[in-house]
Amino acid sequence: MKCERGEEWQKGELRPYGNLELSPSAAVLNYGQGLFEGLKAYRTSDGRILLFRPEENALRMLDGADRLSMPAPPVDVFVNAVKQTVLANERWIPPAGKGSLYIRPLLLGSGAVLGLAPAPEYSFIIYVSPVGNYFKGGLAPIDLKVDDYYHRAAPGGTGGVKTIGNYAPVLKTQLSAKGKGYSDVLYLDAVENKYVEEVSSCNIFIVKDNKISTPELRGTILPGITRKSIIELARNFGYEVEERLVSVDDVMGADEVFCTGTAVVVNPVGSVTYDDKRVKYKNAGLGGVAQQLYTALTDIQMGKAEDKLGWVVQLA
Ligand code: PMP
């Protein structure tokens, strides 16, 4: 689907998966004017196909588009395009309980521009792929390494939106952590180097004395849709949930730590390493708060529990 700057979005089309044709001077290639989203479609055991809160992804893309000075499809256009793409790829949706169809909407400044300026033309593209569990071992505790040298986002930057440029700085740190046997990196704030922000592609929560805390949104953390949903579910379970500054010491002293995201869903953290100190969490894995919230969330996403909060969109 294409849009000239200042004009309406043109009608889209379904195409077989293939390469794109882009000018070498496309704004996305030269200036990183690009956003993406990620959501999943699940097949239920009684044969329905469900999307989870797709309008939230549309709204987040609109927010990011504003930050990057680009037009984005309105919510209904976004959600309809996702629905059509999923239905056209129905055969790729794994059977109930065997995974999901990952949906990747992209918004690119695809028009050519030589000097630094927003693109004259934009492309909205959606591709899909069947996926299993993000971390090897499914709901198995992961091991995080705190990085206090490289940062993901700076105040006033673009950390709060899902722009492609946020992920390039993560590649090196993530690769290095994985090379040392960790599952992923936990980033700190760029000013005081003391407050945890998020993991490469998921948000972080801690539990201390049955109270749940997660870093507050202050423009350097992606406002995760899973984060928002987990906060609501946890409050419905009666937990006190605080959005606040969470220091690395809070994390090291927590009873339980877990991360949330579309890809990882809810994943317990088994250990966090900061400098040479490694803390292992007793409550990681089965029986903890993460497990309880994981079950509650996935039951809604997979159509096993009643959708009391109106989060699920049924396609077929
Ligand atoms: N933080 C980052 C940096 C991410 O890339 C993601 C994945 N979109 C998240 C958090 C989690 O967001 P969501 O729950 O919307 O998938």
Kindly report, residue by residue over 230-239, the tens digit of the pLDDT.
Answer: 999 999 999 9
Residues 215 and 237 in one domain: yes
For residue 205, being part of any structural domain is answered with yes
With a 6 Å cutoff on the Cβ, whether 38 touches ligand 1 is yes
Residues 174 and 36 in one domain: no
For residue 260, being part of any structural domain is answered with yes
Domain count for the chain: 2
pLDDT at 140: 82
Residue where one domain finishes, among candidates 110, 131, 152: 131
pLDDT (mean) for 200-216:
97
Q: Could you identify the atom of ligand 1 that is nearest to the CA of residue 221?
A: 1
162 among known catalytic residues: yes
For residue 123, being part of any structural domain is answered with yes
Residues 289 and 198 in one domain: yes
> Which residue's C-alpha comes closest to atom 5 of ligand 1?
201
With a 6 Å cutoff on the Cβ, whether 89 touches ligand 1 is no
With a 6 Å cutoff on the Cβ, whether 109 touches ligand 1 is no
Residues 55 and 174 in one domain: no
Residues 148 and 292 in one domain: yes
**Angle, nearest 10°, between helix axes 225-236 and 54-67?**
130
> Which residue's C-alpha comes closest to atom 12 of ligand 1?
224
Q: Could you identify the atom of ligand 1 that is nearest to the CA of residue 226?
A: 14
Mean pLDDT is lowest, of 29-38, 113-122, 255-264, 284-293, for: 284-293
For residue 116, being part of any structural domain is answered with yes
Q: Each residue of 174-199: pLDDT tens digit?
A: 999 999 999 999 999 999 999 999 99
For residue 312, being part of any structural domain is answered with no
Residues 191 and 290 in one domain: yes
CATH of the domain at 27: 3.30.470.10
With a 6 Å cutoff on the Cβ, whether 227 touches ligand 1 is yes
Alpha carbon of 288 to ligand 1 centroid (Å): 22
Range of the domain at 12: 2-131
For residue 307, being part of any structural domain is answered with no
Single out the catalytic residue among 2, 40, 145, 162.
162
Residues 124 and 176 in one domain: no
With a 6 Å cutoff on the Cβ, whether 32 touches ligand 1 is no
Residue whose CB lies within 8 A of the most ligand 1 atoms, among 167, 196, 201, for a mutation test: 201
Residues 154 and 244 in one domain: yes
Residue where one domain finishes, among candidates 101, 131, 161: 131
Give the residue with greater pLDDT, 184 vs 287. 184
With a 6 Å cutoff on the Cβ, whether 65 touches ligand 1 is no
> Which residue's C-alpha comes closest to atom 2 of ligand 1?
201
For residue 124, being part of any structural domain is answered with yes
Average pLDDT, the chain: 95
pLDDT (mean) for 15-24:
96
pLDDT at 202: 96
CATH of the domain at 158: 3.20.10.10
Residues 227 and 83 in one domain: no
- pTM here is 0.96
Residues 70 and 127 in one domain: yes
Alpha carbon of 37 to ligand 1 centroid (Å): 9
Residue where one domain finishes, among candidates 100, 131, 162: 131
For residue 137, being part of any structural domain is answered with no
Residues 112 and 259 in one domain: no
Alpha carbon of 39 to ligand 1 centroid (Å): 10
Residues 48 and 150 in one domain: no
Residue 79 to residue 57: CA distance in whole angstroms: 9
Alpha carbon of 13 to ligand 1 centroid (Å): 28
